[in-house]
Amino acid sequence: MSFVLREVRHLLVDLDGVLFVGTTALPGAADFIAWLRQRGIAFRLVTNNATLTPRGYVDKLRVMGIEVEEDEVFTSALATALYLRKQRGTQSAYVIGEEGLFEALRGASVMLESEHPDWVVVGLDRKLTYDKLATGALALQRGARFLGTNPDLSLPADAGLLPGAGAIQATLTATTGIRPTVIGKPEPLMLELAMSQLGGDLSNTAMLGDRLDTDIQGAKALGIPSILVLTGVSSRRDIEQSKATPTLVVEDLAELIEVWTEDGTR
C-alpha cells in the first residue's frame, strides 16, 4: 500500500455508487458510517449534486437505514455559497439552479439580482428557460463573474442522459465566450472546502469514491490520497486508461473496513 490508512483522520466520501445506487443502499453502507464514527474518523459526504439540500440527503439516507447529520453532508451548492462568501466584493448573484442552490446562497446572505449581479451562478435547473439563459448571458457581458456549481455534462435518468449543469454552462460559454470557474469534482475547490471544514489537511485527509474521472481525479487535483470502491461507475479495467490512479482499490466497503483495520493495528 502506498499510503498508510491509519494516518487518515478525515475522509471525504462520495455518495452515489459508494453508499447507495439510485435509491438502494449498498451492502455495508450503514456499518461503514458506524465504523467511521467508532474509529473517530471525521467525514463529509460530498456530492456534485446542487439540487438537493443537506436535509434532503439526510432524509434520503435515513430511508435506506443510514443515519447522518445535516452538517455531515456537503453539496456543491454549499461549496458554491462558501466560495462566494470568501470572494471580495460579493453581494449579489443571478442564479440558475434549483432549491438546494438557492437555499445555500440564502444561507450565505447572497442577494439575488438579475440586472447587475456580481456573479452568475449556474447549476442544474430542470425549469430552465430561454429567458433565464438570456438574463445570465447579458449579466456576464455586463461584467459579472461566472461560477458553475459542478461540471457534470449530463444527468443519468431511467430514460437516458439528461442535460446536466455543465451542459447549461456550455450554452452561456458558447454565447459569450466566457468560461466558468467550477466548484464541484473533478475540480479541487469543493473537496478543499470540505477538507477545511473538517479541519483536515493534505497529510491526514483522503477521498473515497467510485468514479475515476470525478472522485479520484478531484483527489489528485487537490493532492490527497484516494480510495476507489468498485461498487459504482468505474471498474478495475478503467484504471489503466485513467488520467488519475487511485491510491487504493477495494471491491466494497466491507473490504475497506477490513484493510483499514489491519493497517490500523499494525
User: Which spans of this chain sit near a second copy (rule: CB under 8 A)?
Assistant: 125-130, 133-134, 137-138, 141-142, 153-154, 159-164, 166-168, 170-176
Compute and round to an integer the Cα radius of gyration of the chain.
Answer: 19
Supply φ then ψ for residue 249, to 5 degrees: -125, 130
Query: Vertex 210, ends 59 and 159: CA angle to 5°?
Result: 70
Is 69 exposed, middle or buried (CB count within 10 Å of its CB: 0-12, 13-18, 19+)? exposed
Half-sphere exposure of 161 (CA within 13 A, CB side): 8
Cβ proximity to a second copy: between 149 and 226 the closer is 149
* CB-nearer residue toward a second copy: 109 or 154: 154
CB 76 within 8 Å of CB 100: no
In whole angstroms, how close is the CB of 161 to a second copy at the nearest point?
Answer: 6
Smallest distance from the beta carbon of 164 to a second copy, in angstroms?
7
Measuring CA to CA, which residue among 247, 244, 204 is closest to residue 229? 247
CB of 178 to a second copy, least distance (A): 11
Q: Which residue in this structure is represented by grid cell 491526514?
A: 204
Of 62 and 116, which CB lies nearer to a second copy in the complex structure? Answer: 116
- Contact 134/114 with Cβ under 8 angstroms? no
Neighbours of 99 (CB within 10 A): 13
Annotated catalytic, 16?
yes
CB of 128 to a second copy, least distance (A): 4
Catalytic residue among 14, 118, 125, 215: 14
What letter would DSSP give residue 16?
Answer: B
**Distant-in-sequence contacts of 4-9, Cβ < 8 A, 24+ apart:** 4/263, 5/206, 5/248, 5/259, 5/260, 5/263, 5/264, 6/260, 6/263, 6/264, 6/266, 7/203, 7/204, 8/41, 8/204, 8/205, 8/206, 8/225, 9/40, 9/41, 9/42, 9/200, 9/204, 9/205
Residue 71 known to be catalytic: no
**Residue nearer to a second copy on the CB measure, 149 or 205:** 149
- Residue closer to a second copy by CB (options 156, 223) is 156
Nearer to a second copy, 176 or 204 (CB): 176
Where in the sequence numbering do the catalytic residues fall? 14, 16
